[in-house]
Structure 1
């Protein structure tokens, strides 16, 4: 008697395919630059947010980044923004803001690992919502420092002002 061993593999959807589905459901403009890259624009309260999602098969991870449409110029502004980054990043549980030294761009970044590319629609939706919420929430703080001349402490206090109760 011969026993034939058949291996059953189930094809999992690419994590960016899942993300693309979430993006389409929200009616957001996007471009699939390649099988491993998706670029997305979302209108926010303060500005349009542009997100780039990149899948790294070798790391089994999905990286997202969103650059703000503002540049840090001058030594004084650099010190002020660096201080603000410290205050904001200490409050974030997931993701972080960076300052690209080459051109002074402020960027939100986060990466998630998906072993065997096993991701779900809800994970993609959470990842996108997390990034959008962080960018929306802290965008004004960066404006307060860069254009309003506020200190990092003043900017964070103004940006994270949360209303209590109902009017």
Structure 2
């Protein structure tokens, strides 16, 4: 894929630019909000996802936020906080959180890029795919708690089934 996107053998770029190339290659709607921020949307299995990447040059950190279109009403926030805690125990990269002011659930991940401040295509792919994969994996958990009347533990148990073998 790198050769298709970068015919002159460039394999890294400024973080926001590389994400723009990645989004373009996938045909996803995206917009450069500023030199340091890009927003894209893509359709997952469960929901439409907004992906927002923010580059903090002073820290050399690229932060990716994925919004799985889950908004929590006030009376459901306590069980969702519990679900978030249980879900985060399952994650290797990134974490879920809920914004207290709006009840919006999101997945957040950051990458420290170092002094060259560039992102490779493989890094961009890993960053974006991890965010979407985790949103897809845990979306039913949030829905079971919000709409299915399940406890956080029941929702996790019902949603996270490890399959073995091949079909």
SS of aligned partner of 1:101? coil
Counterpart of 1:127 in structure 2 is 127
Residues 1:33 and 2:27 are matched in the alignment: no
Residues 1:79 and 2:78 are matched in the alignment: yes
**Number of aligned residue pairs:** 155
Which has the greater radius of gyration?
A: 1
Counterpart of 1:93 in structure 2 is 92
SS of aligned partner of 1:115? coil
CA distance in 1, matches of 2:64, 2:122: 16
**Post-superposition shift, 1:41?**
0.5
Q: CA RMSD in A?
A: 1.3
**Post-superposition shift, 1:156?**
0.9
Partner deviation per Cα, 1:108-136 (whole Å, 9 max, x = no partner): 11111111203211111110111010111
Q: Which runs of 5+ in 1 are unaligned?
A: 1-11
Q: Residues 3-42 of structure 1: matches in 2 within 5 Å?
A: 13-42=13-42
Partner deviation per Cα, 1:77-97 (whole Å, 9 max, x = no partner): 122111101110000010000
CA distance in 1, matches of 2:70, 2:121: 32
Q: Which moved more, 1:40-49 or 1:66-75?
A: 66-75
Residues 1:51 and 2:51 are matched in the alignment: yes
Q: Does the CA contact (< 8 Å) of 2:74 and 2:103 recur in 1? A: no
Residues 1:150 and 2:138 are matched in the alignment: no
CA distance in 2, matches of 1:119, 1:66: 18
SS of aligned partner of 1:139? helix
CA distance in 2, matches of 1:83, 1:162: 21
SS of aligned partner of 1:85? helix
Q: Which runs of 5+ in 2 are unaligned?
A: 1-11
CA distance in 2, matches of 1:59, 1:156: 35
TM-score normalised over the length of structure 2: 0.88
CA distance in 2, matches of 1:66, 1:120: 20
**Post-superposition shift, 1:18?**
1.1
Counterpart of 1:138 in structure 2 is 138
